[in-house]
Structure 1
Amino acid sequence: MNFKEDKIAKIIRANKRLSREASRIEGIFRSIKEGIILTDAGGNILYANAAAKNILGFAEDGQILTLSKILPQIDSVELRLVCGGTASQREFEIAYPEHRFIKVFMTPVDGEKEEAAIIISDLTNERISARDKIESEKIASVLKLASGVAHELGNPINSISIHLQLALKTIAKMEQSPSLSRLKESVEICSKEVSRLDGIIKHFLKALRPARPDFAEINPLAPLAETLKFLQNELQDLNIKIEINTENSLPSILGDTNLLKQLYFNLIKNAMEAMDLGGIIKIGTSFDDNFVKISISDNGCGIDQDEITRIFEPYFTTKTDGHGLGMMIASEIVKSHGGSIGIDSRKDEGTTIMLSFPRKDKRIREIMAE
């Protein structure tokens, strides 16, 4: 082998080594969960790993991609500063391709060319966990308050109720007169108000101390059918019709029949109270590989858009005589079943409640995984 051939062979071996190193580095970048983007000072994307494409929803199609198209929150001035040697870190909320919270760290790349490396971390699960933690702490603080309220008010309310009942019995034995009738009416009003206060406390404690679910394999529509049968006469009196559009055979779920009856009762009663002059409650079902979904819709008064986000908060109510705990109870019951609840409403058009429960086999896999 002459000198020229030997030199060519060395170059080929060096290229193979570089190719192997490049493949190894590319493999590492593909396995990293954080998105990595390399861009020049003009915003042209020179490299992006799979995680970055997934988080920001773009693909290399042969055209030159620019940072302004996929991350318009970063302006050209900031990018030039980074390429010039100034690192930067910011957090964004993006809507495409999915709603996410991301952290973007930008740092200059050492070298002759002005380039920047952008590292993107998905904070969505972290933010959701933090939000759930805040919600749990809020409920815990309300629970502590509830115990004190129940202790302080329970006994006096019971005492007042007993004495009002005795007063009514005494009035019934007295000679009737207009004044006595008015007194009786006042005592009856007081008695009803005391009963209402007692009911608020019981609902309050039930919302924050729900019974432990007694899971069994059930058809999720069975408790709903029993609830509708229980409310049948009241529905007829209010001229409210029930329309049911369900799959022929829904998958089973692991559910607590009594808790689900309470859930359906709360939701159906809400729908009934939203329709003063009669109407229609539509019930629909569907399912996929993971969840059984049930929707309950009414054509009642609906809810203002600025109130929907507060609908599951304790004490928040759109009713003049509501205690603001019904939807909170509903939410807690659904969560205890590993499901989710959503709401869509339009003022003067109606409201749809969407329930989603894990299929029995899916729920079992999740429990075993835990």
Structure 2
Amino acid sequence: MRKRFLGGLALTCIAIVLAVFGLALRADTELEKLVSSQFNEQQLGLTRQIAKDIQTNFQLLEQGLQLLIERRPALDQAGLDHYLSFFEEWGVLGIGLATPDKSALEAGNMLFSPREDVPASELSDSISRDAARLSTDRDPNQAVLGAPLALASGPFAGRFTAPLLLPSRPERPEVLFFLLDLQAVAARYAAGVRSGKSGYAWVIDHQGDFLFHVESDFRGQSSYTIRQARNPDISYERINQLVRTRLLRGEEGTDWYISGWHWDVSGEMRKLLAFSPVSLPPEPDGERRFWSVGLAAPDTEVYGLMQPVVARQWLMVGLFFLAVLFAAAAFLFIALRWSETLKREVDAKTEHLRRSEAELRRERDKVRQSMDQLLQTQEKLMLSERFAAIGEAAAHLSHEIKNPLLLMGGFAQQVLRTLSEDDPRVEKLEIIAGEAKRLEHLLVEVRDFTRPPRPSLVETEFNELVRQVADLFQDQAESQGVVSRLALDPKLPVCILDSDQIKQVLINLTKNALEAMPEGGELSISTARDADFVRIEIKDTGRGIPEEVMKKLFHPFFSTKAKGTGLGLAVSYKLVQDHGGEITAWSTPDQGARFTVRLPLNGPAQPQADQISPDRSPTTTPDPSTPTPPSGEPA
């Protein structure tokens, strides 16, 4: 007892500690998810602001172009130079005028206010093509963004530039434009942005090229290849897939990817990424492009934010563990001190309860047995009274009907003998004689049911008796297409019974089984020993017996046949009962019916003459699952 108690206490303590440990781990996971989510939302807010600022930059430049178009006639070269110096802060490298029918920009004519270090000759053809591509159905008051071009010479070599174009006047084929330094526009708003301690922003254009990155050698390079060139030992498939499928399609969201470095730290690491799209002015043909702003930070920053909370949490878990150990030790001391006294008291109470329970169980069994006997006696008394009246009435009617019936049949036979075969009255007299004979047979069955003879018990080979019955119906079975199968127990001992009465029972059951299979089937007859009883089962594969018929299956004078007397199964039940046996019926839908007869090997234990065929058979047992369709009808 003490060992079990100590083992239970130890298991309880372990379970509590494991439960607390599991809850702490779960809390760590939930905390990580919460902090990661908040961190990503913070990064997403920053990317949205950068994207919004870049879009606002383009809107301000578009408004500047519209203002320049309105004031251009009144501006001299000094005024244009002043405009250029003002817009240089917004990423403007030059102000120009282009016409679709000219292929070059001429200094002082087409590009009238350039910075001296901008190689205008490299831009002439590209800007002219953009001017020629302006869609005729576009909004004349909306600026368009030309094709980006990387400069090849000068201090801006390698920088991406693009013209922001706006038609000068509807009646004149001139296009006013700002020449933009796209990388300066991106850097103006993305440079210096930090997420957490070390997270940084980058901007890519519609082709996936870096317009801005904290690593200067990344700027102007393809984001698909520059990472791999920086650290070829790591796969960048995830970030490249994100760029292709989400960032360049103008989506906004958060995700993660694997990187090979972060500032001065090298090695494979997991980074959290937030990204937002930048909607650019349309192209000359009306198509829109997107840039994407990304903000990346290693996930270790999230863990750094969590570390103080996690440390305090595990400190509390440790203190709780010590408290559990202390409480368990105190409880163990107190429990061991009083365990013996409690054990004696519990044993005494248990013994008292055990004796009381045994006494109650005996009394309950006595009451149950008395109730069962009372119900059986009451049922037998009611059945005896009911069927005594039925038997008396049947015997009286049989006596009153039998003599006139014999006279009618005899007179009909006498008249038949006096008539020639071709007399038309012969057929009617034969009908009278046949019906009289049928009624006489019915009266004999009624007499047998009301006054059955006592069993004449003799030693009988039960299997041989079954074979005789099967042989009687062999021809009928073959004519109906029924396959008969016998499974007789060869070790069955000799039985003490009335062979004629039991043969009648088997004939009734076999006949009913064949009538249940008019279109063929399978008839199975088997015997077996069941303790001190012999058991025979007769099973057919007909349509089954309905539940409402099962309830009245052994009632006298109950039949579902057009010409049935309703005494076949009732007589069979009475004969089996007189032998001290029992007969049961079972049926299930579309699987036929099975009748089982159990007879004592050594004959009935006491005379059964006073037993009357019951009004209902408590041993008819339809399948409890579902009602059964008819397989046959009681005789």
TM-score normalised per structure 1: 0.63
Partner-residue secondary structure (3-state), 1:266: helix
Partner-residue secondary structure (3-state), 1:282: strand
1:214 to 456, 460, 466: 456
Stretch moving more, 151-160 or 245-254: 245-254
Distance 1:251 1:25, change over 3 A: farther
2:569 matched residue in structure 1: 327
Distance 1:257 1:30, change over 3 A: same
1:358 matched residue in structure 2: 600
2:101 matched residue in structure 1: none
**1:309 and 2:551 matched:** yes
In structure 1, what residue type is equivalent to 2:581? G
Partner-residue secondary structure (3-state), 1:234: helix
1:139 matched residue in structure 2: 387
2:513 to 271, 293, 305: 271
**1:240 and 2:518 matched:** no
Distance in 2 between the 1:161 and 1:367 partners? 42
2:358 matched residue in structure 1: 30
Distance in 1 between the 2:544 and 2:494 partners? 32
Counterparts of 1:78-93 in structure 2 under 5 Å? none
Distance in 2 between the 1:301 and 1:162 partners? 43
Counterparts of 1:1-370 in structure 2 under 5 Å? 30=358, 35=363, 51=365, 123-172=371-420, 176=422, 180-181=423-424, 183-346=425-588, 349-360=591-602, 366=605
Partner-residue secondary structure (3-state), 2:419: helix
CA contact (8 A) 2:395 2:450 kept: no
Distance in 1 between the 2:590 and 2:404 partners? 42
TM-superposed deviation, 1:208: 2.0
Stretch moving more, 341-350 or 317-326: 341-350
CA contact (8 A) 1:345 1:351 kept: yes
Stretch moving more, 122-131 or 149-158: 122-131
TM-score normalised per structure 2: 0.38
Distance in 2 between the 1:253 and 1:135 partners? 30
TM-superposed deviation, 1:34: 5.2
Give the structure with higher Rg (CA): 2
CA contact (8 A) 1:305 1:346 kept: no
TM-superposed deviation, 1:31: 5.2
Distance in 2 between the 1:367 and 1:32 partners? 34
Distance 1:224 1:305, change over 3 A: same
Distance in 1 between the 2:369 and 2:584 partners? 28
Distance 1:33 1:245, change over 3 A: same
Partner-residue secondary structure (3-state), 2:420: helix
Distance in 2 between the 1:232 and 1:30 partners? 59
Distance in 1 between the 2:493 and 2:359 partners? 37
CA contact (8 A) 2:395 2:446 kept: no
Partner-residue secondary structure (3-state), 1:172: coil
TM-superposed deviation, 1:22: 9.7
Distance 1:226 1:146, change over 3 A: same
Report how many aligned residue pairs link the two structures. 264
TM-superposed deviation, 1:298: 1.4
In structure 1, what residue type is equivalent to 2:508? N
CA contact (8 A) 1:34 1:121 kept: no
CA contact (8 A) 2:538 2:594 kept: yes
CA contact (8 A) 2:459 2:494 kept: yes
TM-superposed deviation, 1:185: 2.4
TM-superposed deviation, 1:130: 2.0
Distance in 1 between the 2:352 and 2:406 partners? 76
In structure 2, what residue type is equivalent to 1:258? D
TM-superposed deviation, 1:193: 1.7
Distance in 2 between the 1:234 and 1:166 partners? 35
Distance 1:232 1:155, change over 3 A: same
Deviations 1:321-341 (A, max 9, x none): 100000001001110111100
CA contact (8 A) 2:585 2:593 kept: yes
Give ranges in structure 1 of 5+ residues lacking alignment. Answer: 1-14, 37-50, 56-102, 104-119
Distance in 1 between the 2:462 and 2:372 partners? 31
CA contact (8 A) 1:266 1:327 kept: yes
CA contact (8 A) 2:583 2:597 kept: yes
Distance in 1 between the 2:598 and 2:461 partners? 13
Distance in 2 between the 1:25 and 1:367 partners? 43
CA contact (8 A) 2:463 2:488 kept: no
Stretch moving more, 270-279 or 227-236: 227-236
CA contact (8 A) 1:223 1:258 kept: no
Distance 1:298 1:137, change over 3 A: same
Distance in 1 between the 2:498 and 2:486 partners? 22
Distance in 2 between the 1:152 and 1:201 partners? 11
Deviations 1:321-364 (A, max 9, x none): 1000000010011101111001112465422111111232xx58
Distance 1:132 1:277, change over 3 A: same
Partner-residue secondary structure (3-state), 2:400: helix
TM-superposed deviation, 1:239: 3.4
Distance 1:23 1:130, change over 3 A: same
Distance in 1 between the 2:436 and 2:589 partners? 33
Distance in 2 between the 1:149 and 1:35 partners? 51
CA contact (8 A) 1:34 1:122 kept: no
